[in-house]
Amino acid sequence: MLQTILDLSSLRAAYQSGLTPLDVVEEVIRRRAASKDPAIFITPTPDEDLRQAARDLMARAPDANSLPLWGVPFAVKDNIDAAGLPTTAACPAFAYQPAADSTVVARLKAAGALVIGKTNLDQFATGLNGTRSPYGAPRSVFNPDYVSGGSSSGSAVAVAAGLAAFALGTDTAGSGRVPAAFNNLVGIKPTPGLVPNVGVVPACRSIDVVTVFAATVGDGVAIRKVMEGYDAADPFSREATPARLPSSGLRVGVLEGAEREFFGNADVEALYDAAIERAKSLGVTIVPFDYAPFRQAAELLYNGPWVAERMAAVKDFIAGNAEDFDPTVRTIIEGAKAYDAVAAFEGKYRLEALRQKTRAEWHKLDILMLPTSPTTYTVEEMLADPIVKNGHFGRYTNFVNLYDHAAIAIPAGFGANGLPAGVTLIGPTFTDDALAPFADAMHRALAAGMGKDRSAALPEASRVTPLTDGLIPIVVVGAHLTGMPLNHELTGPGGVLVKTCRTAADYRLFVLPDTVPPKPGLIREPGFAGAGLEVEVWALPPAAFGQFLQKIPAPLGIGKVELDDGTVVSGFLCEAHAITGAHEVTDMGGWRAYIRSKTAS
């Protein structure tokens, strides 16, 4: 039996229990037919074609563990080519039959994923609300009176409704993030150029990005990694040079004063404030910053010469098919006529001047945390004022691609009206991987669920661990645990908490006498039938690791500790003679529980 939300962990568990891709496809077909939102898909993959794709996968790769996305159903925004299905960009007169998959779809299929259909969008990816399509307006999964967000409207709703495990969107001004917020999803927006755009109908070619809608940050990052990589056929593709963020003491920029604008939506403002408090509880430093140079850049995207880049994408088609455009989309694109080549250069100069101002803010910060959208609207409200209200959605998103940033949108909870809101974590160029651990920790801390299942617990298997490239892991069991007296010896030199876990079953724990602060002794006794002991795995820079070892007092030392998943990591062990007469606390399950018992007594 499949869960409501088809996250990667639940699918893998289902396959391990004996389900096949054909079983999953049948369930997707059933759910797709039962959906009450007829505007999600423009072209669903025909049922029999989907079944055949599952059969072909099982013939090509019979082993579920042989491919990273084996049997994972996904949806594709209909401005991204998928062979066998037309690409319309939500404009029937523009439709064509692609000769091949886009690069990203080809890579996902090679990894074992199955395309379930092409999803609806704001026409030519022009909009953040999801109502600008002749195929209808997909609706929020929480209230059908409200917009789904756009332009990647159908993609977000497909995942939030449990029809797909993930979906592809595109993002120029926020289209891979706003729909995530409105449907309680994660939106992974890569640094421009990290994921190739070959086979994607452009909106603003120089800053377009293919994005991922997923249930968890871990899922979204895993999918992005399958798609990314240089493609010479894309003029804007680049080789990534991953950038790091501080392993501790992360400085998070937040809004204050006049730059806080929620257009009267007190629910979203309260959820943003709650997210700030939750971030503090995770140990980061909150830093108010001046959003003005970011906002002023955002205004250039629709009120500056970048509109002309939208015209460049469709100039031949619009010349003879202007009447086939959605009226609002046509108005926006034809706004390009107000700009000439001089204006384009002046806009570039203005952007670079603003970028210089943002550098002063980045000196104070490591990442930004902004509301994904400051408010939401009903479909009726949006249609009554489509340009102004759409602009409200982009207040905190439009600048990100212009400034070459990475971003991850996460759910932030629900307001009194039952509608979700989100926050987006934004980092400098190519901090895509470095952003993920904090984004995942925030998603878990905010406990907003996944998609329409707002009570769902995030699967442990999708947890994102901090980057540890070049660091040396070490298992700690006592006074060096998080929150314990000697933890600063790990955090001070740049140590990173990798995970909390348990030892193998045959370890015992003792209280060493006459130690200050109190310290445990961990020994291994082959044949001992315990339940394992709670420990933490940290990672230290090599120089810090060497200095750390020199400080370890006898009878403690470093040996090899086996964890409950079978991995072996260097960690604290005790000489056997030191536990003679020592008080055993193995049955408490770990040192933290022992300290709590002493405090309680």
214 membership: H or E segment, kind and range: strand 209-214
* Low-confidence winner among 86-95, 389-398, 574-583 (lowest mean pLDDT): 574-583
Spatial contact of 599 and 588, defined as CB atoms under 8 Å apart: no
Mean pLDDT of 65-72: 94
Name the band, by pLDDT with cuts 50, 70 and 90, for residue 599. Answer: confident
Tell me the C-alpha distance between 376 and 418, whole Å: 12
The DSSP secondary structure of 506-518, one letter per residue, reads: TEEEEEPTT-SS-
Identify the CATH homologous superfamily for domain 472-600.
Gamma-glutamyl cyclotransferase-like (3.10.490.10)
pLDDT of residue 601: 64
Provide φ and ψ at 359, rounded to 5°. Answer: -60, -35
What is the biggest distance separating any 2 CA atoms in the chain, rounded to whole angstroms?
91
pLDDT of residue 124: 98
pLDDT at 535 over 70: yes
The top-level CATH class assigned to 8-297+352-462 is alpha beta
Close Cβ partners of 225 (under 8 Å, ≥ 6 residues apart): none
pLDDT at 68 over 90: yes
The b-or-e profile of 178-189 (16+ CB within 10 A means b, else e) is: bbbbbbbbbbbb
Tell me the C-alpha distance between 409 and 184, whole Å: 10
Residue type, 248: S
pTM: 0.86
pLDDT of residue 21: 97
Encode pLDDT of 391-433 as tens digits: 999 999 999 999 999 999 999 999 999 999 999 999 999 999 9
Overall residue count recorded for the chain in this entry: 601
Residue listed under structure tokens 């080519």 = 81
First to last CA, the chain: 46
Average pLDDT, the chain: 95
**Which of 476, 519, 520 lies closest to 496 in space, CA to CA?**
476
Tell me the C-alpha distance between 484 and 492, whole Å: 14
Mean pLDDT of 511-525: 92
Name the band, by pLDDT with cuts 50, 70 and 90, for residue 565. Answer: confident
**Which of 227, 222, 211, 207 lies closest to 178 in space, CA to CA?**
211
Spatial contact of 520 and 585, defined as CB atoms under 8 Å apart: yes
pLDDT of residue 598: 84
Crossing angle (nearest 10°) for helices 217-227 and 432-446: 160
pLDDT at 56 over 70: yes
**More confident position, 389 or 601:** 389
CB count in 10 Å sphere of residue 340: 12
pLDDT at 600 over 80: no
Encode pLDDT of 355-384 as tens digits: 999 999 999 999 999 999 999 999 999 999
Residue type, 100: A
Tell me the C-alpha distance between 212 and 221, whole Å: 8
Encode pLDDT of 225-240 as tens digits: 999 999 999 999 999 9
pLDDT at 1 over 80: no
Tell me the C-alpha distance between 440 and 156, whole Å: 19
pLDDT of residue 188: 98
Over pLDDT 70: what percentage of the chain?
100
Residue spans per domain, the chain: 8-297+352-462, 472-600
Tell me the C-alpha distance between 217 and 464, whole Å: 7
Name the band, by pLDDT with cuts 50, 70 and 90, for residue 175. Answer: very high
534 membership: H or E segment, kind and range: strand 534-540
Close Cβ partners of 418 (under 8 Å, ≥ 6 residues apart): 142, 143
Spatial contact of 439 and 446, defined as CB atoms under 8 Å apart: no
**More confident position, 254 or 460:** 254
Name the band, by pLDDT with cuts 50, 70 and 90, for residue 310. Answer: very high
Tell me the C-alpha distance between 33 and 567, whole Å: 45
CA 263 to chain centre: 26
What residues are annotated to the active site? 77, 151, 175
* C-alpha separations of 426 from 126, 460, 529 in Å: 22, 24, 47
pLDDT of residue 514: 87
CB count in 10 Å sphere of residue 447: 14
**Residue 139 structure tokens:** 């609706």
**Residue 19 structure tokens:** 């389900």
